[in-house]
Amino acid sequence: MADLSVNLAGIASPNPFWLASAPPTNTGYQVQRAFEAGWGGAVWKTLGNPIINTASRFAGLHIGTQRVAGFNNIELISDRPLEVNLKEIYETKRRFPNHALVVSIMVEPKREAWHEIVKRVEATGADGLELNFGCPHGMAERGMGSASGQVPALVEVQTGWVKEAARTPVIVKLTPNITDITATAVAAVQGGADAISLINTINSLMGVDLDTWNTIPHVAGKGAHGGYCGPAVKPIALSMVAECARHPEVNVPISGIGGIAAWRDAAEFMLMGATAVQVCTAAMHHGFRIVEDMIDGLNNYLDEKGISRVSELVGQSVGKYANWGDLDLNYRIVARIDTETCISCNKCHIACEDTSHQCIERHVDANGKPYLKVREEDCVGCNLCAIVCPVDGVISMAEMPSEAPPMTWNERQRALAILTKQPEGSSAKEVAKP
């Protein structure tokens, strides 16, 4: 079996699977149950000045037969007394000394407030701190959470305040509710962050009840925007992790968060630069024991790949994540349909005919049996037919040899600039001039 242990900015963990700061890490009872189930680490639910939560606070997005494809919440930070939380953190760390125990904290943007809570939390023996600059609802109206996390200058200065007092590693949790997440990632690093974690939840309104016209969820007939998470946000989270991982000024470890529900998701995040991952919605949906499958699956995958340590996965795909302008415009693939396994549902034909490039034709063989065939010379390799096909493996995308050498958009523009003696930054209109 491979070595699944990881070290995130000096925080050791027996495996890369951590519970995120959320309802599953609200009490010592829960975190200890999680560690017993096999989780390598946990980020304690955010501490600060205790608040009052609403009674109706969660909503799920169900797609077809899939329950909780997305999840929305308007829950705030811990509503339990700070002293109670600190006592339970101390007891949990003493009972599980080899597990990673990080505490999420969030206070008003004042140096003395940050210093005070840092000192009180570190006195418990916790392994590290996670600064919650991402909560998009409730706390933002009070100048905390994403209200700070959307302003790079505030991220930098508050991270700096924490580092003045902290003796343990400081992780900065970033909000996705921003145009460019690397701006705040860089600010966190400039403030002294030892690591970053992302993403926090996305601003959302789950839905509207068409009978009552109330929002979902609602509190006595009124609703508010909440934080969106779950499997549906994974592509957004993975992209933002990749953007930070490849940014030259974000040179700190990353804890990946967002839609991770199985070992495959974790492996993808690690390949895209995450040292460890955090899970929330999947645990809320299926319980703590899902980590058993995550551990087994990741172990088997590493064994199949001949990889001895999970840390060897980290960042292996970052170099493959590029800007659109660096993609080879001469690369070509075409769709091919296996007529033996095709069930003749015509989904691919309809999709191509109505919304793509009209290159799938319907034919009838000598026995009168209908079949579909791709007109390869007109196929642009968009993948749509393979995506909509309900049977795996019926439609494959085949690479085609190219007589032309690789050519990216950026290379093309540079070549045109030389030919026309125009500067590289010239517009297409200027380059086209005689």
Residues 316 and 421 in one domain: no
- Residue 175 banded pLDDT, cuts 50, 70, 90: very high
Q: What gap in Å lies between CA 191 and CA 202, rounded to an integer?
A: 24
Query: pTM higher than 0.85, yes or no?
Result: yes
Please report whether residue 314 resides in a domain: yes
> Which of 86, 88, 91 shows the shortest CA–CA distance to 105?
86
Q: Is the pLDDT of residue 430 over 60?
A: no
Q: What gap in Å lies between CA 307 and CA 295, rounded to an integer?
A: 15
Residue at a domain's end among 320, 355, 381: 320
Please report whether residue 1 resides in a domain: no
Angle, CA 319 vertex, CA 318 and CA 325 arms, to 5°: 110
Summarised one tens digit per residue, pLDDT across range 236-272 is: 999 999 999 999 999 999 999 999 999 999 999 999 9
Residue 302 confidence (pLDDT): 98
Residues 189 and 304 in one domain: yes
Summarised one tens digit per residue, pLDDT across range 57-101 is: 999 999 999 999 999 998 889 999 999 999 999 999 999 999 999
- Residue 51 banded pLDDT, cuts 50, 70, 90: confident
Residues 304 and 328 in one domain: no
What count of other Cβ atoms lies within 10 Å of the Cβ of residue 414?
12
Residues 396 and 413 in one domain: no
Residue 119 is part of which domain span?
6-320
Summarised one tens digit per residue, pLDDT across range 193-236 is: 999 999 999 999 999 999 999 999 999 999 888 899 999 999 99
Give yes or no for a contact between 216 and 206, defined as CB atoms under 8 angstroms apart.
yes
Residues 350 and 428 in one domain: no
Summarised one tens digit per residue, pLDDT across range 335-388 is: 999 999 999 999 999 999 999 999 999 999 999 999 999 999 999 999 999 999
Enter the DSSP assignment of 270: H
Residue 431 confidence (pLDDT): 45
Summarised one tens digit per residue, pLDDT across range 105-135 is: 999 999 999 999 999 999 999 999 999 998 8
Summarised one tens digit per residue, pLDDT across range 283-317 is: 999 999 999 999 999 999 999 999 999 999 999 99
Residues 279 and 367 in one domain: no
Residue 415 confidence (pLDDT): 87
Please report whether residue 419 resides in a domain: yes
Residues 97 and 119 in one domain: yes
Residue 267 confidence (pLDDT): 98
Residue 181's alpha-carbon distances to 61, 216, 315, 319, in angstroms, are 26, 28, 18, 19
Q: Is the pLDDT of residue 280 over 60?
A: yes
Enter the DSSP assignment of 278: E
Q: What gap in Å lies between CA 189 and CA 286, rounded to an integer?
A: 35
| Residues classed as catalytic | 135
Q: Is the pLDDT of residue 319 over 90?
A: yes
Q: Is the pLDDT of residue 163 over 50?
A: yes
Kindly write down the DSSP assignment for every residue of 172-239, as one continuous string. EEPPS-SS-HHHHHHHHHHTT-SEEEE--PEEE--EE-TTT--EES-BTTB---EEEESGGGHHHHHH
Q: Is the pLDDT of residue 9 over 90?
A: yes
Kindly write down the DSSP assignment for every residue of 109-165, as one continuous string. S-HHHHHHHHHHHHTTT-SEEEEE----SSSGGGT-THHHHT-HHHHHHHHHHHHHH
Q: Is the pLDDT of residue 433 over 80?
A: no
Q: Is the pLDDT of residue 35 over 80?
A: yes
Q: What gap in Å lies between CA 113 and CA 106, rounded to an integer?
A: 9
Q: What gap in Å lies between CA 342 and CA 359, rounded to an integer?
A: 17
Residues 215 and 359 in one domain: no
Q: Is the pLDDT of residue 434 over 50?
A: no
Q: What gap in Å lies between CA 221 and CA 223, rounded to an integer?
A: 7
Q: What gap in Å lies between CA 15 and CA 397, rounded to an integer?
A: 36
Q: Is the pLDDT of residue 428 over 60?
A: no
CATH number for position 125 = 3.20.20.70
The distance from CA 228 to its chain's CA centroid, rounded to whole angstroms, is 12
Residue 146 confidence (pLDDT): 82
Q: Report how many domains make up the chain.
A: 3
Residue 141 confidence (pLDDT): 65
Q: What gap in Å lies between CA 399 and CA 376, rounded to an integer?
A: 11
Residue 145 confidence (pLDDT): 80
Residues 172 and 84 in one domain: yes
Per-position b or e across 346-383, b if 16+ CB within 10 A of its CB: ebbbebbeeebeebbeeeeeeeeeeebebeeeebebbe
Q: What gap in Å lies between CA 202 and CA 278, rounded to an integer?
A: 16
Residues 392 and 415 in one domain: no
